[in-house]
Structure 1
Amino acid sequence: MSLDLSLRVISANSESEARAVLLIHGFASSAEMNWNRSRWVQHFTEHGRDVILIDLPGHGEDPYRNEGSWTPTRIRKAIAVGLNQLNLGPVDVLGYSLGARLGWEFAAYFPELVNKLVMGGPTSADPLAAFQLDQARAFMSKGEEIHDEYTAKVVNIAKSESANDFDALFRLIEAIKADPYEPASNVPACPTLLVAGDHDDLATTMPQLRRLLKDAGTESAIHWLPGRNHANAVTSREFKVKALDFFDV
């Protein structure tokens, strides 16, 4: 059974021949938080692009709507099923943070469904693999201190969004840990743009992804956003302009 990713299409403000854009949000976020509040949906629809939004398992208004495994492998297969049902491929894809990882894998495994790829805040290794679930669960249930600095940082970010369900988020992390991110094993062939804030400590390995793309003969570009970090790069107007320009070329 395929996952229910609640694919929904937001129509462009005017008729256009441009491809639809699939937006994949980050961890502890949602389509609403990552893309609507940051005005990405408005940006694309005002420029003649239909937008496809999804809520990943463990996220959105009904975080437990999916049974079984929530691994990235199953997620990307569900995205493919959804796009084929909507008869919308190939599409342009924009993913942020965890969404960037999923975008890379989706473009690599389903090249017939992806025209171009933009990755925001990407890394060459999945940072959630280092997340200390036992410490995070003990903190949430008993108030015990989180000793791992990275785990504490992720939990604090997730707590900033009151709608987040931590049991659901932890279940997704378990699935991610069981399905490692190995970008070198399958590299996208579509033109790819890598974007991150120059203060983003999670994106320091982004140039490694660029090398993988170059070695594979994939057309690629890299762009650093001045003064931005992992938390606020997604709100950057410059990021929006760069992404649309890349898709439009």
Structure 2
Amino acid sequence: MPHFQSEGYEIAYSIYGEGPSILLVHGFGSNGKVNWVDTGWVDSLVRAGYRVITIDNRGHGKSQKIYDSDAYPSSEMAKDSVNLIKFLGLKQIAIMGYSMGARISAYVSMSAPELVKCAVFGGLGERMTIGMTTSGVIVDALLAPTLEEITDKTGRMFRIFADHTKSDRRALAACMASSRQRITEEDISKIELPVLVAVGSEDEVGGRPEPLAALMKQGESYVIEGRDHMRATGDKQFKQAVLSFLERQYPI
């Protein structure tokens, strides 16, 4: 994977296909390959005629691992996505993030709206403005010596996923300690570009999509029926909703 320098860190990225560009920002504990290639997103978007760019967020995948939680507020991580867009010489693109990646995408949309044509926030609805209350148990689960010692359901879910992706759990713990910062409703309401908020109907982590979408001038919501936080990522109905949104807001 190619790398570039962003805010003093080595950040990995990949590019697939040709056409209008869309940047995909993965969720916590994942990476560009697991979140977007393995789930079929890259193939679907390339077939639709888009140039797909995936980024490995700092502390994840092939990007530099950092063990200082001060490096991981989502507003800071968003700088890597903004810097990548500029590094590639792109003028205005679509951006899609899932879970933590949705929060990062929101910060990109707020801090550099001139670079973003439209956005998709997947796997994170009302909890983007409410905030998370489970960060502590997730950090504890990531740092626990063995999986057997973890009894909390949410903690176990994130630990199992981190082990599955062969992530650096100490870097993830530092990330979790700060990256789940709350965005105010007032800040979200300032996003004027078209945004699709899509969350699974059984997703207790992300919360409902409708309240978040309603805060934005051009917000739309979509419920991914029958899916929870982990199983919604590559869902066919989710893909179709996004492709329909892009066809209207970011046509080929």
Matched to 1:234, the amino acid is T
Q: Which whole-Å CA distance do the structure 2 matches of 1:111 and 1:66 have between them? A: 30
Shift of 1:47: 1.4
When residues 145 and 189 of structure 1 are mapped into structure 2, their CA distance, relative to the original with a 3 A threshold, is same
Instruction: Report the 3-state secondary structure (helix = DSSP H, G, I; strand = E; otherwise coil) of the residue aligned with 1:135.
Output: helix
- 1:31 matched residue in structure 2: 32
Shift of 1:55: 0.2
Native 8 Å contact 1:132 1:148 kept in 2? no
Q: Which segment drifts farther, 45-54 or 79-88?
A: 79-88
Q: Are 1:165 and 2:164 matched, yes or no?
A: no
When residues 157 and 189 of structure 1 are mapped into structure 2, their CA distance, relative to the original with a 3 A threshold, is same
Q: Which whole-Å CA distance do the structure 2 matches of 1:89 and 1:48 have between them? A: 18
Instruction: Report the 3-state secondary structure (helix = DSSP H, G, I; strand = E; otherwise coil) of the residue aligned with 1:234.
Output: coil
In the alignment, which of 166, 186, 200 is matched to residue 197 of structure 1? 200
Q: Which whole-Å CA distance do the structure 1 matches of 2:17 and 2:47 have between them? A: 10
- 1:229 matched residue in structure 2: 228
Matched to 1:152, the amino acid is R
When residues 237 and 27 of structure 1 are mapped into structure 2, their CA distance, relative to the original with a 3 A threshold, is same
Shift of 1:89: 2.8
Native 8 Å contact 1:31 1:54 kept in 2? yes
Native 8 Å contact 1:116 1:192 kept in 2? yes
Instruction: Report the 3-state secondary structure (helix = DSSP H, G, I; strand = E; otherwise coil) of the residue aligned with 1:235.
Output: coil
Native 8 Å contact 2:59 2:65 kept in 1? yes
When residues 128 and 145 of structure 1 are mapped into structure 2, their CA distance, relative to the original with a 3 A threshold, is farther
Q: Which segment drifts farther, 20-29 or 3-12?
A: 3-12
More strand by share: 2
Shift of 1:156: 2.7
Shift of 1:238: 1.7
Shift of 1:46: 1.2
- 2:159 matched residue in structure 1: 155
Q: Which whole-Å CA distance do the structure 2 matches of 1:170 and 1:138 have between them? A: 7
Q: State TM-score, norm by structure 1.
A: 0.84
Q: Are 1:8 and 2:43 matched, yes or no?
A: no
State how 1:57-136 maps to structure 2 within 5 Å: 57-64=58-65, 69-125=71-127, 130-132=134-136, 135-136=140-141
Runs of 4+ in structure 1 off by over 4 angstroms are 65-68, 126-129
Native 8 Å contact 1:196 1:233 kept in 2? yes
Q: Are 1:210 and 2:213 matched, yes or no?
A: yes
Aligned residue pair count: 236
Unaligned runs of 5+ in 2: 1-6
Shift of 1:171: 1.7
Q: State TM-score, norm by structure 2.
A: 0.83
Q: Which whole-Å CA distance do the structure 2 matches of 1:88 and 1:42 have between them? A: 21
Instruction: Report the 3-state secondary structure (helix = DSSP H, G, I; strand = E; otherwise coil) of the residue aligned with 1:123.
Output: coil
1:101-158 deviation line (CA, Å, top 9, x unaligned)? 1111211121101111111111333566532266325522x77833544323322332
Shift of 1:202: 1.9
Native 8 Å contact 1:57 1:66 kept in 2? no
Residue identity over aligned pairs, in percent, reads 24
Shift of 1:85: 1.8
Q: Which whole-Å CA distance do the structure 1 matches of 2:187 and 2:8 have between them? A: 23
Matched to 1:153, the amino acid is M
When residues 248 and 137 of structure 1 are mapped into structure 2, their CA distance, relative to the original with a 3 A threshold, is closer
- CA RMSD of the aligned region, Å? 2.4
